[in-house]
C-alpha cells in the first residue's frame, strides 16, 4: 500500500474552504476547486514508497502487472483506468460534453499530426481516451444534465418572454425563434439541436437576449441583477406546461448571468434538466451528455482523461463544430447511478461503465472488519475517523483526509476500526474506495 499526496487545482470557480473542511486540512487561502487522486499524467498523485516519493503513473508503468492485475492490464493497458476528484464548486463550471472513445482516439491523433501543442488554448483533445464520469453529492449539489423534453423547455422560454413583456420591453426575435422551434412537429433531437445552435451561434443577438432575459427574470422575482430588492410583480409559475422545477430553472438563468454575463450557456441552461442532489445521491454522465455543475461539494469519478469540449459558461475556447459533432441531442431522463448495499456492508454506486465502481464503507469501534470490493487496483480515501487497512502483504492506518493506492497484488483488503486518542470511540469512520467494475 502506498500513501498518496494529491494535487489541488485552484480554478476560480472553486470554494476556498469546502475541501479543507471536509478533509480537516488548512485552507490555502485561495480557491480549492478540485483535488485529483489518481495517475493522470497532467496531475498524478505522488506515492510514498520505500525509495522515496514516486509519481503514481510512473509507479504503475514500472510495475503494471503487480499494480493493476492481469485482467485490468489486458483491458486497459499499463495505466490506471480511473481518476477520482473531490470537486467543490462555489459557482458554475463550464457547460461541457465528453467524447466517445472512438472520437477521442481519432481527434487526438488528428491534433497530434497537426502539431497542435498540448497546452494550446484552442486544443480540444488532451489524450486519446473517453471520459465517462459520475458525481456523488457530499453536500446538497446542483447541476444541469442532459436535455429536458422539448415541451418543458418551450414553456420555460415562454416564461422568459412573459417576463420581458411584463417589463415593458419587446420580445427579441431570437427568443421567439427558439420557442417556435421547440414547439415544431419534428423529431425531438432535431428540434433540440436547432434551438441549441441558434443560441450558441447567435453572437451579439444571443448576448443581448441573455442580458435582457436575466434582467426581466430578476425583476419578476423582485430583484435586480445585483440582488437588490425591487418593487414589482411576481412571475406566474403556475402557467400551463411549466415543469415542477421551473422556479429553480429560471432563477438559474439569473444566477448564471451574474457569473457569465452575455454567455449563450445562460439560456442553453433552459434546454437542460435541472438537477438537485442530496448527499449520497449520484448521477452519471456518458459520452455526449451535455452538463454543468452549478454548486456544491461532490466526489467525482471518471475514466482517466481530461478531454472536455466546452459549450458555454466559460472564457475558454469553445470549438462549436466539434461540440455539435459530439453532443447527444436526444432529450431524456436524468441518469441516476444505481446503488445497492451488499451483505458484506459495502455501499456501491455502479454506473454503466467498465472503468470504475465506487463504494462506501462505514465502520465503528467494535465492529467486525469489512472487506473492500476489489477488482484489480484500489484508491481509498478516508473522510472521517480512522481505519486500519489490512492485506496479506501489508497494513496501514488511514485517517480523515488520507488516501492510499492499493496495488492489485494486495488482495483482499479488510477495513478494521481503529481508535484514535482524543476522538470519541462512538464516531464512525467513513472511507470511500474506487476499483475497476467487475
> What does R_g of the chain's alpha carbons equal in angstroms?
23
Q: What does the alpha-carbon distance between residue 276 and residue 210 come to, in Å, rounded to a whole number?
A: 24
Task: State how far the alpha carbon of 294 is from the alpha carbons of 19, 35, 85, 307, in Å.
Answer: 16, 18, 16, 20
Q: What does the alpha-carbon distance between residue 206 and residue 263 come to, in Å, rounded to a whole number?
A: 8
**CA triplet 82, 28, 252: central angle to 5 degrees?**
70
Q: Taking Cα atoms as reference points, which of 275, 239, 94 lies closest to residue 156? A: 239
Please, where are the H alpha helices in 170-234?
173-182, 188-200, 204-220
- The enclosing H or E element of 56 equals helix 56-62
Torsion of CA 114, 118, 123, 125, to 10 degrees: 90
Question: Catalytic one among 103, 107, 158, 310?
Answer: 310
Is residue 310 annotated as part of the catalytic site, yes or no?
yes
Q: Taking Cα atoms as reference points, which of 19, 9, 10, 6 lies closest to residue 53? A: 6
Grid cell 472513445 is found at 101
Q: What does the alpha-carbon distance between residue 81 and residue 67 come to, in Å, rounded to a whole number?
A: 12
3-state secondary structure (DSSP) of residue 279: coil
User: Sign (positive/negative) of CA torsion 258, 192, 276, 155?
Assistant: positive
Q: What does the alpha-carbon distance between residue 290 and residue 177 come to, in Å, rounded to a whole number?
A: 22
For residue 147, the cross-strand partners are 272
168: left (phi over 0), alpha (psi -120 to 50) or beta: left
In the 8-state DSSP scheme, what is residue 419? -
Residues designated as active site: 310
Amino acid at each position: 500500500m502506498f500513501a498518496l499526496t494529491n494535487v489541488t487545482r485552484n480554478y476560480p470557480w472553486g470554494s476556498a474552504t469546502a475541501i479543507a473542511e471536509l478533509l480537516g486540512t488548512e485552507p490555502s487561502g485561495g480557491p480549492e476547486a478540485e483535488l485529483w487522486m489518481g495517475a493522470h499524467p497532467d496531475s498524478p498523485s505522488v506515492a510514498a514508497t520505500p525509495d522515496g516519493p514516486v509519481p503514481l503513473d510512473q509507479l504503475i508503468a514500472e510495475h503494471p502487472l503487480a499494480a493493476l492485475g492481469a485482467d485490468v492490464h489486458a483491458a486497459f493497458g499499463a495505466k490506471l483506468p480511473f481518476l477520482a476528484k473531490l470537486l467543490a464548486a462555489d459557482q458554475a463550471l463550464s457547460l461541457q460534453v465528453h467524447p466517445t472513445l472512438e472520437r477521442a482516439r481519432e481527434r487526438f491523433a488528428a491534433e497530434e499530426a497537426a502539431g497542435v501543442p498540448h497546452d494550446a488554448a484552442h486544443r480540444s483533445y488532451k489524450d486519446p481516451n473517453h471520459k465517462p464520469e459520475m458525481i456523488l453529492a457530499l453536500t446538497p449539489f446542483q447541476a444541469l444534465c442532459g436535455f429536458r423534453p422539448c415541451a418543458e423547455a418551450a414553456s420555460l422560454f415562454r416564461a422568459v418572454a412573459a417576463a420581458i413583456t411584463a417589463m415593458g420591453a419587446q420580445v427579441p426575435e431570437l427568443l421567439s425563434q427558439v420557442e417556435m422551434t421547440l414547439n415544431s412537429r419534428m423529431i425531438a433531437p432535431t428540434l433540440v439541436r436547432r434551438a441549441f445552435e441558434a443560441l450558441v451561434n447567435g453572437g451579439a443577438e444571443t448576448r443581448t437576449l441573455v442580458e435582457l432575459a436575466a434582467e426581466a427574470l430578476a425583476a419578476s422575482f423582485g430583484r435586480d441583477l445585483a440582488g437588490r430588492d425591487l418593487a414589482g410583480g411576481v412571475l406566474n409559475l403556475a402557467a400551463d406546461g411549466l415543469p415542477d422545477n421551473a422556479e429553480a430553472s429560471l432563477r438559474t438563468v439569473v444566477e448564471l448571468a451574474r457569473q457569465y454575463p452575455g454567455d449563450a450557456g445562460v439560456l442553453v441552461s433552459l434546454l437542460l434538466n435541472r438537477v438537485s442532489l442530496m448527499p449520497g445521491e449520484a448521477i452519471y454522465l456518458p459520452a455526449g451528455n451535455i452538463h454543468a455543475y452549478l454548486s456544491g461539494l461532490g466526489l467525482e469519478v471518471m475514466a482517466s482523461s481530461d478531454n472536455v469540449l466546452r459549450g458555454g459558461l466559460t472564457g475558454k475556447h469553445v470549438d462549436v463544430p466539434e461540440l455539435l459533432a459530439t453532443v447527444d441531442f436526444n432529450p431524456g431522463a436524468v441518469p441516476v447511478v444505481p446503488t445497492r448495499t451488499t451483505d458484506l456492508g459495502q455501499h456501491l454506486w455502479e454506473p454503466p461503465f467498465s472503468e470504475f465502481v465506487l463504494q462506501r464503507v462505514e465502520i465503528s469501534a467494535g465492529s467486525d472488519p469489512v472487506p473492500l470490493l476489489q477488482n484489480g487496483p484500489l484508491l481509498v480515501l478516508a473522510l472521517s475517523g480512522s481505519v486500519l487497512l489490512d492485506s496479506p502483504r501489508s497494513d496501514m492506518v488511514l485517517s480523515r483526509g488520507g488516501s492510499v493506492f492499493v496495488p492489485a497484488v494486495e488482495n483482499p483488503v479488510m477495513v478494521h476500526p481503529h481508535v484514535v486518542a482524543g476522538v470519541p470511540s462512538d464516531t464512525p469512520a467513513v472511507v470511500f474506495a474506487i476499483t475497476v467494475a467487475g
